[in-house]
Chain A
Amino acid sequence: MGWRAGYGSGAFAVTAPLEADNEVMAAKLKPTVPSIPASGRGMFRPGWIGRLRHYFSIYLLLWRNSVVREMSFKSNFLMWIVVEMLWFSLQLVFVDVLYRHTDHIATWTKWEVVMLMGGSHFIQMIFSAFFLSNCVQLSEHIRSGKLDFMLLLPVNTRFLVSLRQVDLGGFVNAGTGLVIMAFAANKLHWTPTWGQALGFLALSAASVTIHYSLMLLISSVSFWTVRAQGIVWGYYNLFSLARLPDEAFRGLFKAFFTFAVPMLLVANVPVKWLLNRLGSPWEMALLWFASLWFLFLSELAWRFALRHYTSASS
């Protein structure tokens, strides 16, 4: 059993009892309904700024909901943080064991790889905080017919599906990633400049977008297979590539996971920028391009899936 197997099922298990809150959310969303006129959205709402503000206020409500939710399962919340830390430390143990028998993997030294692991963890956890459980739950929404209900709400359904819950533990875990990075930077006797730190954050944002778009793409398959568990679980396996130095890979494998499924870009490029070891600026361009491209692809897939959606239950 790969650890992803357990992890994947875990994500299901932890979200299951929270489903009961759906009615609460509906009640909270309802007051916003009258604020949107039934016809001519553009007429009353002054342009995209007004709509942005409107969506922002909805998102604030969703945040508040998530906080309330997490606080009512406090021990669970803490346990999941412990679990994530355990898994993260296992990866670090792996690096430690590898470097007992070698002093470099390709050209990467031990603490550079630890830096990469920390960066990868940070990006992955920010992604989990905002999107992961939402994407995973999509198949459940389809199976139980809750998606019908969401389609009826006067908000963009993709917005609601993608951002409904915020996983606060993800932020704590992302913090762990940063701490490990700081520790590794200290070991490397090296302080990043402001430009490097900000660039790292900007590139991480692109990486989070790639993770999210790919995950939504994969989850969309559940419009047809209903039980997408195996596929979602597969994504966790892909994730595990991100934390390894891209130089270790060759040939078709490297090409595939750089261009088709850019797992070898998402953590490598931001951390390489941070460590000042980017081969060429094209790597950054590629990461940005990939994030836009996959965002576009996921929107296409989402629209296609919705067009072919016939309610599973009613």
Chain B
Amino acid sequence: MSKYWHVVRIGIQNTLVYRFNFLARAAFTLVPLMATIYVWRTIYEGRESSVLGYTLGKMVSYYLLALLVDTFTAVTDDDWQVASDIKDGNINQFLLKPMDYLTYRFCLFGAGRLIYAIAALLPLGLFFLWHRAELYLPAAGSTYAWFLLSLALAGLLQFLISYIMALMAFWVLEVSTLIILLYGLEYAASGHLFPLDILPPLAQSLIMWTPFPYEVFLPVSIYLEQVSRVNLVQGIAIQCLWVAIMYGVARWVWQRGIRRYSAVGG
């Protein structure tokens, strides 16, 4: 186990180099977010009723929380690194050393997220403070616990899905288009763009069959207390199931990939 702690420490040191980048990144993310909030404000101005159960305060909170989930769970660079490790033959060493590549990658991902979250603390904190009047705070303490659990699972799920996509580098020379396509799907279907429950029912039920809503939409809805107790437990269970499935797929794809792998470069 201790060797993986070393990996985490190395990861932290490596990402600390980019702390300014991270800060800039976190600050710039707020611009489109503010724009979205402005647009929703304008929409709410012309009407008295709420949009399908979302008051303006809840709508704003939705986007704030989605940003928070994103800060802790989004895969930014890890998938590109995995792909280039495969292309450049850097994974050779993992085939020889007693170190598991998936665990190694996960440690680096965790370290990167940690540093990013710390760097984002200041801009995000200020932004939340600014919107504190509208920010929804759940009354029940258990909501926070469920939210944290769901957040952790969402992080695992995001990591595993991106990892699997990056492993396509074993078969395809240019994975970047695949990765961007995946970003596109995730962006719309995970609930980044808008709360998924304002979609027409058919689109909604289709999306709920994919793993994407469990990356952002579920944790945020749990926080906003938009899900009943039964649905909450069921949601977490499905989230766990998706994590297990993706873990299995990741292992399987790696096995298949290694068989094809011919260590170019290295």
Contact = CB atoms under 8 A, between A and B. Distances in A.
Nearest to A225: B20
Contacts of B22: 230
A230 B43 contact: no
Interface stretch (B44-52, B94-102, B219-227): B44-52
Given A76-B177, A102-B46, A97 B198 contact: yes
A17 B199 CA distance: 41
Nearest to B70: A1
Contacts of B13: none
Range, interface on chain B:
35 or more
A91 B242 CA distance: 28
B176 interface: yes
A83 B34 contact: no
Contacts of B38: 244, 248-250, 253
A25 interface: no
A227 B187 contact: no
Interface residues of A, number: 46
A238 B35 CA distance: 10
B25 A233 contact: yes
Contact of A244 (B39, B76, B176, B198): B39
A253 to B, nearest CB: 6
Given A6-B183, A104-B46, A230 B21 contact: yes
Interface stretch (A8-16, A174-182, A194-202): A8-16
A179 to B, nearest CB: 20
A1 B20 contact: no
B142 interface: no
Tell me if B's interface is mostly helix, strand, loop or mixed: helix
B74 interface: yes
B5 interface: no
B103 interface: no
B258 interface: no
A20 interface: no
A101 B43 contact: yes
Given A237-B29, A241-B32, A1 B174 contact: no
Contacts of A87: 184
Interface in A1-35: 1-3, 5-7, 9-10, 13-14
B184 A83 contact: yes
B228 interface: no
B24 A230 contact: yes
A230 to B, nearest CB: 3
B198 A101 contact: yes
Contact of A90 (B25, B28, B31, B193): B193
A277 B22 CA distance: 40
A86 interface: yes
A240 interface: yes
B28 A234 contact: yes
A106 interface: yes
A77 B74 CA distance: 28
B2 interface: no
A58 interface: no
A191 B38 CA distance: 31
Nearest to A104: B46
Contacts of B186: 1
B194 A94 contact: yes
Contacts of B31: 237-238, 240-241
In the A-B complex, list the 10 residue pairs whose CB atoms are closest, starting with the nearest: A230-B21, A234-B28, A6-B183, A13-B176, A1-B74, A79-B177, A248-B42, A230-B24, A237-B28, A240-B32
27 contacts: A1-B74, A1-B75, A2-B32, A3-B184, A3-B187, A13-B174, A82-B177, A94-B194, A100-B200, A101-B43, A101-B51, A101-B198, A102-B43, A225-B20, A227-B21, A230-B20, A230-B21, A230-B22, A230-B24, A230-B28, A233-B25, A238-B28, A241-B35, A244-B38, A248-B38, A249-B38, A253-B34
Interface of A: 1-3, 5-7, 9-10, 13-14, 75-76, 79-80, 82-83, 86-87, 90, 93-94, 97-98, 100-102, 104-106, 225, 227, 229-231, 233-234, 237-238, 240-241, 244, 247-250, 253
Given A5-B25, A98-B39, 4 more contacts: A83-B181, A93-B193, A230-B22, A234-B24
Interface of B: 18, 20-22, 24-25, 27-29, 31-32, 34-35, 38-39, 41-43, 46-47, 51-52, 70, 74-77, 80, 174, 176-177, 179-181, 183-184, 186-188, 192-194, 198-200
